[in-house]
Structure 1
Amino acid sequence: MHDHNASPVNPIPPVVLILFAVMAVAELAFSLGARGLAGGPGAIGWRVAMIERFAFSGEILEWMVQTRQAPLQHVVRILSYPFVNGAFTATLFACVMLLALGKMVAETMGQARTLAVFAGASIGGALIYTAAGASAPLYGGFTPVYGLIGAFTYLLWVRLGRMGEAQIRAFSLIGVLLGLQLVFGLLFGSSPHWVAEVGGFVTGFALTVALVPGGAARILARIRR
């Protein structure tokens, strides 16, 4: 029997909504400021100022390691950079993917594990980005979103295995996205940020294996076969 009191929209887990809200509110402020609708003349440079303040920098990380200093204003960069995007369109795509993937992952893994994947992918992607020798500041929400893609890929991989279907299909989404990145890179030039995004995917996949009960055992069994 149809429930007439049911919500017409599938509810999105609160943790995903909070992450979305932080990213969206920041973009709203940047966009309004750039159009002179908020903050006065100085607001035009809000986006650039916030990128300088909150973007992750491999050089700053290396300085902290060498000097054994860890000022809070620099430590937070490894978790704050996903919430500052370089353009409205980047924020739009990141937010849409965050809502869609975050909802699917959170409904399967729970909100705490989803937040752990988001934060872990942000950290892992940034560290891999630095280890690869990239020096440009890292910012934007795609690195942790790719971490959620990694989580979704593992969950789909498990589901396909239970259904007796080809598990390689679980990697279709990341394959398509990397293919599109390659095409756009060839046409318009590529950004080194893709290194962090791939790192985020790998970190998100690995964290999901560790966080889901029996995940490591499934991987080991697959390797042995």
Structure 2
Amino acid sequence: MNDTPSEHRPELPFNTLPPAVVALALVLGGIEALFQIGSYGIIGGPDAVGWRIAAMEDYGFFDTVFEAMRTQGTWPLEHVIRFLSYAFVHYSLTHALMAIVFILALGKMVGETFGNVAVFVIFFASTLFGALIYGLVLSTAQPLLGAYPAAYGFIGAYTFILWLGLGRMQENRMRAFTLIGLLMGLQLVFGLLFGGSLDWVAKLAGFVAGFGTAALLVPGALGRIIARLRRR
């Protein structure tokens, strides 16, 4: 029995996070851990070294596959699932860790504001919309991988929270978009300096999906937005 007064007990980091955010982080981290362990031959035997590459090919979102489905008018489940499954496969440990950090940081605010169900809704809506726009806008052989569109979806939802808050305080609502503006600016700079990835299209689409989904989750918020746009 622990006799330490509750106010003096150390609080575990995960205790402060919504369960849905923790669950997503654990799933993403667990899959990456399997790739890492397999790459060292600890489990899975010799074939485990190629688990990541096989997962990229089987679960990554490919524009070429998307275009083939559109052209043929057939939508096999094994390829449709790529619209969501790509989020759970990353290029590397660093690639995965950065996405998880984003989800933990922004998902906390979203979960505390909208609840656990909303966390999953925003995650999958942003993932789906990110892949859809990536496939529609681009013509590339580069696969879309990683949870970054979903992470940007949480940024979008967080931006919506700020947008509402600034409006209530009668302040400039455009300040809410400072974070996404900064991130897109950094993406542009790194792209110019080191050669960028085209996944910024999916990230931006994920942001839009997160912002829009958050608007739908607030009772009456969508109506107020439409009314404001009409007045303009």
Question: TM-score normalised by the shorter chain: which range applies?
Answer: over 0.9
Q: Do structure 1's residue 7 and structure 2's residue 17 form an aligned pair?
A: no
Identity %: 47
Q: CA deviation at 1:6?
A: 7.6
1:134–1:192 CA contact under 8 A, matched in 2: no
- Aligned counterpart, 2:37: 32
Tell me how far apart the structure 1 counterparts of residues 97 and 166 of structure 2 sit (CA, whole Å). 31
Q: Which residue of structure 2 lines up, in the alignment, with residue 161 of structure 1?
A: 167
Contact 1:143 1:197 in 2 (8 A): yes
CA displacement, residues 148-195 of structure 1 (integer Å, 9 cap, x when unaligned)? 111110111101111222221111111111111111111110111111
130-139 vs 20-29, which moves further: 130-139
Please name the residue that 2:47 is paired with.
42
1:218 pairs with 2:224: yes
Moved more, 98-107 or 159-168: 159-168
Q: Which of these residues, 178, 188, 191, is aligned with residue 185 of structure 1? A: 191
What is the deviation of 1:8? Answer: 5.0
Closer/same/farther in 2, CA of residues 8 and 59 from structure 1, 3 Å limit: closer
Q: Are 1:74 and 2:90 matched, yes or no?
A: no
Q: Mark the runs of 5 or more structure 2 residues left unpaired by the alignment.
A: 1-5
What SS does the aligned partner of 1:31 have?
helix
1:210 touches 1:216 (CA, 8 Å); kept in 2? yes
Q: 1:138 aligns with which of 129, 135, 144?
A: 144
Quick check: 106-115 or 67-76, which moved more? 67-76
C-alpha separation between the residues in 2 aligned to 1:8 and 1:21?
A: 15
1:73 to partner: Cα distance: 1.5
TM-score (structure 1 length as normaliser): 0.92
TM superposition shift of 1:66:
3.2
- Count of residue pairs the alignment pairs up: 225
- Distance of 1:131 and 1:69 partners within structure 2: 17
1:105 matched residue in structure 2: 110
- Aligned counterparts of 1:116 and 1:7: Cα–Cα separation in 2: 28
Unaligned runs of 5+ in 1: none
